[in-house]
Amino acid sequence: MLRKALQLSSCRRLSARGLSTRRGGSTLDWGGKVSEIKKKIRSVLPGGTWDLPYDTSHLPPEHADVVIVGGGVIGLSVAYWLKRLETQRGAIRVLVVERDHTYRQASTGLSVGGIRQQFSCPENIRLSLFSASFLRNINDYLAVVDDPPLDLQFNPSGYLLLASEKGAAVMESNVKVQRQEGAKVCLLSPEQLRSKFPWINTEGVALASYGLENEGWFDPWCLLQGLRRKVQSMGVLFCQGEVTRFISSSAHMENASGEEVTLKRIREVHVKMDHSLEYQPVECAVVINAAGAWSGQIAELAGIGNGPPGTLQGTKLPVELRKRYVYLWHCPQGPGLETPLVADTSGAYFRREGLGNSYLGGCSPTEEEEPDPGNLEVDHDFFQEKVWPHLAQRVPAFETLKVRSAWAGYYDYNTFDQNGVVGPHPLVVNMYFATGFSGHGLQQAPAVGRAVAEIVLEGSFQTINLSPFLFSRFYFGEKFQEATII
């Protein structure tokens, strides 16, 4: 009591002195008071931070409803749609586990960024059309208060697919399907092709299909960052760490024909933190496998494919890493502003990059020539031997090109039928796939995320029926082949 009184009086004296001195003193005191008031306000306002004895902010939470493995464009899109389709704000707790927040090896950042509707499967065309409308209205979907609008840098220059005499009939029937689905694609004869793009050598070309709308290329980083920003504002949790183990419970049952089936349910996901042995178990209800090229490994961790061969338990997720090179070259006499993404009859492709006569492109190797996917080094001989001859044959101006740089990335390659895998696993009942898109996953991400969110929340596909993409096709051996893989 006495102390307080003393303090008070000294305080008063101090302030009295403060008043009697010149201005400098009083402002000092004023500043202190303001900061004190600020402190008080801060302690009253919600949203402040605690001071915990141990800093655990880098650890993931102990519980989450949905754990998404892989924070690439597909994983983030699933997170976005889960939050968007939830019935009540904050109803689902979504955790995205990504082992590398710089995305050095992730396919998303290393892709060419193309979007097209020129597919052979109607489902792929629908996915791409939905994604195109998502990307067109990206600032409605991914708007965040106070953040600047996204600039997707979309180049609506279209895809130009060339077919030899052998492939012409298939191309024609594909275009028919594409038009039925609402894609704006036109067919060009070699004559028309020459008059539209005089720089093309039409030797060996019987037919070409050319996308007029919703096709071209965009900046994949912008989509990734835009999704991340939005998803964070919607309350999705992020954690940097690697998923190393699943703890699951199993139930043994008999099916109708008397065989024993083991149904598994993942209870916990172990997330190993970066550069340490520390790991955190996260209890969860649903796991989404969106680990791109590495999703085969994640499936193995969950015990998918380790039964006897020929059974459902022994059916692996056939998604592998496949290394693909992209080369960037300069060619002063090269084709002009109108250049679309050209996919040659040989499989080589290229597109314009910027305005300065730069182009980028590549070619998928044949099955026998697949490079070792152990690292992301670029094989420059591959360009000289396998890509350049085709390019120079198709566009004579490319005789004089100079390669400026190159990079490599991983396709999340589905060795079974080069199509995506979407939906739950029949035995590990709470693992959902969103992977295996074999080089067209970026453009389909917005639509696939929605489909996965629908099947998780509603139990069935609502907007686009993706049942041909279910895992069970690997067991039944029913291929759902996509013919146009670039």
Ligand X SMILES: Cc1cc2nc3c(=O)[nH]c(=O)nc-3n(C[C@H](O)[C@H](O)[C@H](O)COP(=O)(O)OP(=O)(O)OC[C@H]3O[C@@H](n4cnc5c(N)ncnc54)[C@H](O)[C@@H]3O)c2cc1C
Scanning residues 430 to 469, which ones bind ligand X (CB under 6 A)? 435, 437, 439-443
Picked from other proteins, ligand X, none, the partner binding residue 143 (CB below 5 to 8 A depending on kind) is: other proteins
Q: Is 117 in the site for ligand X (CB under 6 A)?
A: no
243 binds, among other proteins, ligand X, none (CB under 5 to 8 A by kind): ligand X
Q: Give the list of residues 6+ apart from residue 223 with CB closer than 8 angstroms, or none.
A: 73, 135, 138, 152, 442, 445
Q: Does 411 bind ligand X (CB under 6 A)?
A: yes
Work out whether 140 is an interface residue with other proteins (CB under 8 A).
yes
> Residue 48 gets which letter from DSSP?
P
Q: Which residue lies nearer to ligand X by CB, 312 or 438?
A: 438
Residue 409 binds ligand X (CB under 6 A)? yes
Check: CB of residue 279 under 8 Å from CB of residue 60: no
| Site residues (CB under 8 A) for other proteins, limited to 82-111 | 89
Per partner kind, with CB cut-offs from 5 to 8 A, the member of ligand X, other proteins, none near residue 355 is: other proteins
Pick one of other proteins, ligand X, none as the site partner of residue 205 (Cβ within 5 to 8 A by kind): none
CB of 151 to ligand X, least distance (A): 19
126 in contact with ligand X (CB under 6 A): no
Binding characters for other proteins, 325-364, by CB under 8 A (x = yes) = -----------xxx----------------x---------
Query: Which residues lie below 8 Å from residue 455, measured CB to CB, with a gap of 6+?
Result: 422, 423, 424, 432, 461
155 binds, among other proteins, ligand X, none (CB under 5 to 8 A by kind): other proteins
Query: Tokens 């420059």 map to which residue?
Result: 380
DSSP annotation of 182 reads T
Give, as ranges, the residues between 280 and 309 that touch ligand X (CB under 6 A).
290-294, 298
Q: Least Å distance between CB 262 and other proteins?
A: 44
Query: Tokens for 146?
Result: 């106070």
Nearest to 435 by CA among 322, 325, 316, 317: 317
Tell me the backbone φ, ψ of residue 267, rounded to 5 degrees: -100, -40
Q: Count the residues of the shown chain that bind ligand X, applying the rule CB under 6 A.
A: 41
* DSSP SS3 for 448: helix
Using the contact rule CB under 6 A, the part of the chain among 51-59, 66-74, 139-147, 196-204 near ligand X is 66-74
Across 338-401, where does the E strand assignment appear?
A: 341-343, 348-353, 358-363
Q: Check: CB of residue 268 under 8 Å from CB of residue 129.
A: no
- Quick one: what does residue 449 bind among other proteins, ligand X, none, with the CB cut-off 5 to 8 Å set by partner type? none
CB atoms within 10 A of CB 362: 24
Q: Under the criterion CB under 6 A, does residue 75 sit at the interface with ligand X?
A: yes
Which of residues 172, 213, 259, 478 is near other proteins by CB under 8 A? Answer: 213
In contact, 245 and 25? CB cutoff 8 Å: no
User: Does the footprint of ligand X cover residue 73 (CB under 6 A)?
Assistant: yes
CA distance 265 to 252: 12
Residue 66 vs residues 240, 314, 412, 416, 430: alpha-carbon distances, Å: 16, 26, 23, 28, 10
312 or 423: CB nearest ligand X = 423
Interface residue with ligand X among 92, 94, 97, 428 (CB under 6 A) is 97
Look at phi and psi of residue 113 and say left if phi exceeds 0, alpha if psi is from -120 to 50, else beta. Answer: left
Query: In terms of CB distance, is 325 or 474 closer to ligand X?
Result: 325
CA distance 155 to 149: 17
User: Which residue ranges make up the site for other proteins (CB under 8 A)?
Assistant: 45-47, 89, 136, 139-140, 143, 145-149, 153-158, 184, 196, 212-214, 216, 336-338, 355
User: Which residue ranges make up the site for ligand X (CB under 6 A)?
Assistant: 69-75, 97-100, 103, 106-108, 110-114, 242-243, 290-294, 298, 324, 326, 409-412, 435, 437, 439-443
